[in-house]
């Protein structure tokens, strides 16, 4: 899968939710770390939407213990024909533990999203540039989710997104109430991926819109 333009990902731990998302989303983010018996369900998936598989570590807001089995699941996932992309944390890659996921993804032609999640705040612009560039060195898209305390934090994130996006494929968003609107406007500044739950009750990050709302707002701002 290529991320040449904005794609909307419907986040879920239940692949049975795919029919409710297929008319709105471009891709389904399957949260292995939140799913029961995820690998087995993944192997039986017969939906229409391609999958972006995530097995988020506890260190970055997920539910998967940071053990070798977490990465084993990702290696197995990228071997499934319905998986178009996989998410792995930049910290995992830089520690050397994620290299086998990257190698298998390359062998299978699966795109890689290299992600960073900051639940404490928003780094300064120089740091955000460095994180995104580092992510892009290892993957097809560099994802950065920060926590905004105010509108200034959102402006910093959008400025970095706008600056890098012509040459560096990025996906950016600001979590929290102050950053909620970033999920709508970041695509205008070059962000390649947006995330939203099919059901608002299943939000996987602070400040997420539901899927239908985010699709409608993004499309309206983009003149579609």
**If residue 86 lies in a helix (H) or strand (E), which one and from where to where?**
strand 83-89
Q: Are strands 170-175 and 193-197 parallel, antiparallel or unpaired?
A: unpaired
Give bridge partners of residue 107 from the DSSP assignment: none
Helices 68-78 + 99-108 axis angle, to 10:
10
Instruction: Tell me which H or E stretch contains 41.
Output: helix 38-43
Instruction: Please tell me the total number of residues recorded for the chain in this structure.
Output: 224
Of the CA atoms within 13 Å of residue 146, those in its CB half-sphere come to 28
Residue with tokens 């506890």: 58
- Sign, Cα dihedral of 100, 87, 191, 159: negative
Query: Catalytic annotation on 143?
Result: yes
- 166 by DSSP, 3-state: which? coil
CB 11 within 8 A of CB 45: no
Catalytic residue selected from 117, 138, 162, 181: 117
**3-state SS, residue 20:** helix
The one catalytic residue among 59, 138, 143, 162: 143
Burial 157-181 (b: 16+ CB within 10 A, else e): bbebbbbbbeebbbbbbbbbebbbb
* Residues designated catalytic: 117, 143
């Amino acid at each position: 899968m290529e991320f040449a333009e904005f794609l909307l990902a419907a986040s879920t731990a239940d692949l049975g939710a795919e029919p409710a998302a297929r008319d709105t989303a471009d891709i389904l983010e399957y949260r292995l770390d939140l799913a029961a018996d995820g690998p087995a369900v993944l192997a039986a998936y017969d939906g229409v939407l391609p999958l972006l598989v995530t097995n988020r570590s506890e260190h970055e807001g997920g539910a998967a213990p940071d053990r070798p089995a977490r990465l084993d699941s990702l290696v197995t996932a990228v071997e499934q024909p319905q998986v178009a992309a996989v998410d792995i944390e930049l910290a995992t890659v830089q520690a050397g533990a994620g290299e086998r996921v990257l190698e298998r993804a390359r062998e299978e032609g699966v795109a890689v999203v290299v992600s960073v999640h900051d639940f404490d705040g928003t780094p300064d612009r120089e740091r955000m540039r460095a994180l995104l560039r580092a992510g892009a060195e290892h993957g097809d898209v560099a994802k950065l989710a920060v926590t905004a305390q105010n509108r200034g934090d959102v402006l910093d994130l959008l400025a970095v997104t706008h600056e890098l996006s012509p040459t560096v494929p990025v996906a950016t968003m600001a979590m929290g109430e102050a950053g909620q609107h970033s999920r709508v406007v970041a695509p205008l500044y070059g962000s390649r991926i947006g995330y939203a739950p099919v059901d608002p009750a299943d939000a996987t990050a602070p400040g997420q819109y539901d899927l239908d709302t985010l699709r409608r707002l993004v499309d309206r701002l983009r003149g579609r």
